[in-house]
Structure 1
Amino acid sequence: MMSPVPHTSDVVVIGGGGSGLATAVAAAEGGADVVLLERRSEIGGSTALSIGSLTAAGTSFQRRRGIVDDPDHLVEDMWKFDEELLSGDAPDLRRLYAHESARTLAWLIEHGVAFAGPFPEHPHRVPRMHNVIPNSRSYVARLDEAARRAGVSVITGAEAERLLEEDGAVVGVSALVDGQPRDFLANRGVVIASGDFSGNRVMREELLSRSAAGAVPINPDALGFGHRMAADVGAELKHMDKLFGPQLRFPASPKPGLLDRLPLWRWFCRLEALVANNVPPSFLRPVVKSLLVSHMSPTDEMFRRGAILVNASGERFGQEAHPADELALQPHGRGFLILDRRLAAEFDASPHHISTAPGIAFAYFSDYARGRPDLISRGADAAELAARIGVDPGAFQSAVDSSGLTGELIAMGPVHSMLTVTEGSISVDDRLRVLRDDGSAIAGLYAVGGVGQGGMLLKGHGHHIGWAMTSGRLAGAALAASETTNDQPSNQAEPRNQ
């Protein structure tokens, strides 16, 4: 049986998350013929699972609020999240992101993505966090529309297996499309936009700490295929042992929250943004609290004030100094946060909150009791609460006896130790070209988003999305402007939506 004729285009993008979509849109709108390969049956990647904030400096939103900002100040403030770790990690890329961030936000707005803000987040010296409206799926919806308008061939169920080389340059991708092998050749370049490797248990065990290896990935489909393919052709991988986390997270609500139920119609998102940007913050707090109790982590301050953490059997397995790390090493990385009525009251009013959206709203115990009653269980004593949450009564009694908790007991959970993203990435230069160990570029190969951080470490809200969109936009525009190196006519791929 003859192999299918290779499909030839200008640009092949591997991965249909935010960075891959941004790359495809920018390249296609610049006149390039683009094919996007997505391994799953639908696009979105980790972007669709994120909170959706984008941090940027010098934006129109800031100017409307009278906020004077400087991209160089954004660079400095990003270091302040962890100066010892972040300083010098990839200064050229951090500077590139900071100076292009406002243009990226404007580009997304031009494509119909709506935002509210800016909002403050320490240690940023001025408000820079722009929140997507109504949720992160809006990025995917608007960029998907733009990609199809621009003629991008989106092929789902397409698992990239290896990069194709010729005379030391990457010239295409070999992939399985619905289990059948196909080659996709690229006249101008291949862009790896496959995300991080947090969903790959083998890579986590090989490269990360025991707690990170045992944590539950937020995106189990982030398997690190792009890292492997790039390394196979000589790319340098950087900071593969770095990450921020794990962190405690409650599971998703069995019922979609208010923000998850809102439609993604373009006009409706714009209307929501208009409202969000023109009403006092107090009007937004009920909506934001819905987000907080659905997606945000409980603060470790609860443990410092006397709450304890037990595993799925009811055992207290540590002293909660590093609760997420400790829980990750327990069976299934699953447990319960235990408090009493006194602590519940303490975390039901300022200054103690369970979770927060900086500068907008705090979520207290009563917000969780109303918004996520599935997470709250009560018992008059340890035996009653153990029965309610299904743990061993003897082990749970011992756990309570080891604490200062008294009277009526309350369990919040289950709670999981979860891994948001890994920071290890392919080495890239400030043109997003993939680099070898000696600093030379691999012709025809680019990387963007989480897989293309180039050793840059990103801590804090809005930086990963900001880099994903910025790097994708820049790589796509650069490829659209590059000269065609192969004059063969391109074939027409058949887009397939699932």
Structure 2
Amino acid sequence: MTDVDVIVVGAGGGGLTAALAAHDAGASVVVLEKAEHAGGNTALSTGSVPGAGTRFQAAAGIDDSAARLATDLLAQSGSHDADDLARLLAAGSAGLVEWLIDTHGVDLRLITDYKHVGHSVPRLHAPPSRKGRDLVADLLGAVRATDTEVLVHTPVAALLYDEGRVTGVRVSGPRSGTYEITSHAVVLAGNGFAANRALLREWAPAIAGFEYFGAHGSTGESLQWALDLGARLGNPTAYQGYAAVAYPHGSITSWTTVEMGGVLVNGAGRRFGDESRGYSGYADAVLGTPGPWHVVFDTKIRDYVASHEEEFAELVAMGGARECASVEELATFCGVSPSALSTTLASAATVASGDDKDEWGRTDWGFGPLHAPYVAVRSVPGLFHTQGGLLVDGHARPTTDTGPIPGLYAVGGVATGISGHTGGAGYSSGNGLLAALGLGHLAGTHAGSLLR
């Protein structure tokens, strides 16, 4: 006799999706969250979920397919430890998006005004606000509508394991107390290990020095529980970084500002690479050149992005995007030489006009050359989440050398990511949520089906 059919550990996007899928499959579910509220890294994201071949794309005249998404993802990431998982998640992406919208009332809209990093066609589906916290609110509301309990301040301390299978969890915390819950299945959805400096130094030392801007609960204990049972770790040094976190505000400087023609300059007032590598891939380039760093664009780009992205509009309203009438005023704000910055912007304008080749190899300049008045955001590079995690099978079960661990599932940042073998350059926009929600759907569906 068990207390509940499925226990979900973690109430971010992956965990809440797993709870919905398990309920749809007929299981009783409880979600346990150690933090004071649900959300995790999903709440800090833009809430963008890739879906290839959705009816929303078809209505917009966008020709897309799962095969095309898989090709795009692997072109961006290169081969890694989870190539088959990338193809599997791509294959289920359209169904995932439509299931969330149609069955559970999650408000996702196709973004058609840009493709974003790693995608050859528009396929990101996001809340109208383009804020992950609104995606979390919809998922949490849908879970609660199924009468599934979501218990916050309820940290899991250990897995229960008996006769070769996971049989539940032990909860232990100052507010929850200590007790055990038994189940047929446990879904680990507690994200990665980016908030654990010791694990970063052990598994991904190259990024241990990055400032971390993700959810504080990403401390990696659930990975260790599974590793102790023989699970295997994949892509441990891969990560999702962000090249331009607004300083000191702490919110991301929308990368759309760069895609529309903006540039990043260093403490010498010069560009230092091809910004079109993407916000994650460019983070190490930023860290490798002297600061302070600034994202420079113009008022046309500012107004366009602010009209489409609520978080960026809030950054502008807070004074985080400084308007400057001239290059001289811009240089003063950035603390750099006016002549150096003038040379940088003139060179960028020349290549953006198609009159020359960019020395860094950039070819996509969005709206074209920048024009005064200019806008600048002071920024710093940061780490948002690790992409290394447990190798899983097609049902999101962690695998050992001899097969999957019975009764255990891993989703989102707990599982091996699909963003490359190492570094941040392999990250395509939405990869984190594709893995979180996609694996959550697979895990919950399979865990629930075992009860039939």
1:143-182 per-position Cα deviation (integer Å, ceiling 9, x unaligned): 2122222221211111112111111211111121426222
**Residue 369 to residue 181, structure 1, CA distance change in 2 (3 Å):** closer
1:298-328 per-position Cα deviation (integer Å, ceiling 9, x unaligned): 6498667xx3338xxxxx9x98459843765
Residue of structure 2 in register with 1:281 after alignment: none
**Residue 136 to residue 246, structure 1, CA distance change in 2 (3 Å):** closer
174, 180, 184: which one aligns with 2:181: 184
What is the alpha-carbon distance in structure 2 between the residues aligned to residue 179 and residue 169 of structure 1?
25
Answer yes or no: is the 8 Å Cα contact 1:37–1:160 preserved in 2: yes
- Partner of 2:142: helix, strand, or coil? helix
- Partner of 1:214: helix, strand, or coil? coil
1:24-54 per-position Cα deviation (integer Å, ceiling 9, x unaligned): 1221232212111101010011111101111
**Residue 414 to residue 455, structure 1, CA distance change in 2 (3 Å):** closer
RMSD after superposition: 4.1
Matches within 5 A, 1:244-393: 244-251=240-247, 295-296=254-255, 299=258, 307-309=265-267, 320=272, 324-325=283-284, 328=287, 336-337=292-293, 347-348=297-298, 371-376=317-322
Paired amino acid for 1:182: Y
- Partner of 2:156: helix, strand, or coil? strand
105, 121, 142: which one aligns with 1:112: 105
Answer yes or no: is the 8 Å Cα contact 1:160–1:174 preserved in 2: yes
1:276-302 per-position Cα deviation (integer Å, ceiling 9, x unaligned): xxxxxxxxxxxxxxx9x8644864986
What is the alpha-carbon distance in structure 2 between the residues aligned to residue 411 and residue 379 of structure 1?
9
**Residue 180 to residue 102, structure 1, CA distance change in 2 (3 Å):** same
Q: 1:381 Cα shift?
A: 12
Q: 1:210 Cα shift?
A: 4.0
1:226-270 per-position Cα deviation (integer Å, ceiling 9, x unaligned): 21221122211111111243522114859xxxxxxxxxxxxxxxx
TM-score by length of 2: 0.76
Paired amino acid for 1:73: R
Q: 1:445 Cα shift?
A: 0.7
Q: 1:379 Cα shift?
A: 12
**Alignment partner of 1:432 is 2:396:** yes
- Partner of 2:125: helix, strand, or coil? strand
What is the alpha-carbon distance in structure 2 between the residues aligned to residue 379 and residue 73 of structure 1?
44
Residue of structure 2 in register with 1:8 after alignment: 3
Q: 1:23 Cα shift?
A: 0.7
Paired amino acid for 1:348: D
- Partner of 2:97: helix, strand, or coil? helix
Q: 1:66 Cα shift?
A: 3.2
- Partner of 2:292: helix, strand, or coil? strand
204, 226, 247: which one aligns with 1:230: 226
What is the alpha-carbon distance in structure 1 between the residues aligned to residue 34 and residue 43 of structure 2?
15
1:348-391 per-position Cα deviation (integer Å, ceiling 9, x unaligned): 278xx68997xx9799x9x9996452443879999x998x89xx
216, 237, 242: which one aligns with 1:241: 237
**Alignment partner of 1:23 is 2:15:** no
TM-score by length of 1: 0.69
What is the alpha-carbon distance in structure 1 between the residues aligned to residue 246 and residue 441 of structure 2?
34
What is the alpha-carbon distance in structure 1 between the residues aligned to residue 170 and residue 196 of structure 2?
21
Answer yes or no: is the 8 Å Cα contact 2:51–2:94 preserved in 1: yes
Matches within 5 A, 1:393-408: 400=337, 403=340
Residue of structure 2 in register with 1:416 after alignment: 380
Q: 1:219 Cα shift?
A: 2.4
**Alignment partner of 1:48 is 2:43:** yes
What is the alpha-carbon distance in structure 2 between the residues aligned to residue 15 and residue 175 of structure 1?
13
- Partner of 2:42: helix, strand, or coil? helix
**Alignment partner of 1:73 is 2:65:** no
**Residue 349 to residue 219, structure 1, CA distance change in 2 (3 Å):** same
Q: 1:405 Cα shift?
A: 5.7
431, 435, 447: which one aligns with 1:467: 435
Q: 1:9 Cα shift?
A: 1.1
**Residue 220 to residue 233, structure 1, CA distance change in 2 (3 Å):** same
- Partner of 1:226: helix, strand, or coil? helix
Answer yes or no: is the 8 Å Cα contact 2:210–2:383 preserved in 1: no
Answer yes or no: is the 8 Å Cα contact 1:7–1:185 preserved in 2: yes
Gaps of 5+ in 2: 275-281, 344-373, 421-425
**Alignment partner of 1:451 is 2:414:** yes
Paired amino acid for 2:88: L
**Residue 163 to residue 370, structure 1, CA distance change in 2 (3 Å):** closer
**Residue 43 to residue 168, structure 1, CA distance change in 2 (3 Å):** same
**Residue 478 to residue 324, structure 1, CA distance change in 2 (3 Å):** closer
- Report sequence identity in percent: 29
What is the alpha-carbon distance in structure 1 between the residues aligned to residue 283 and residue 94 of structure 2?
34
Q: 1:109 Cα shift?
A: 0.5
Answer yes or no: is the 8 Å Cα contact 1:212–1:325 preserved in 2: no
477, 480, 483: which one aligns with 2:445: 477
Answer yes or no: is the 8 Å Cα contact 1:48–1:140 preserved in 2: yes
Moved more, 210-219 or 25-34: 210-219
Residue of structure 2 in register with 1:276 after alignment: none
Residue of structure 1 in register with 2:351 after alignment: none
Answer yes or no: is the 8 Å Cα contact 1:252–1:294 preserved in 2: no
Q: 1:80 Cα shift?
A: 1.9
Residue of structure 1 in register with 2:364 after alignment: none
**Residue 202 to residue 309, structure 1, CA distance change in 2 (3 Å):** farther
1:397-447 per-position Cα deviation (integer Å, ceiling 9, x unaligned): xx64994569xxx994542221122110111100111111x1411111111
Moved more, 452-461 or 137-146: 452-461
**Residue 116 to residue 148, structure 1, CA distance change in 2 (3 Å):** closer
Q: 1:455 Cα shift?
A: 6.1
**Residue 180 to residue 295, structure 1, CA distance change in 2 (3 Å):** farther
What is the alpha-carbon distance in structure 1 between the residues aligned to residue 314 and residue 147 of structure 2?
45
Q: 1:200 Cα shift?
A: 1.6
The structure number with the bigger radius of gyration is: 1
Answer yes or no: is the 8 Å Cα contact 1:338–1:412 preserved in 2: yes
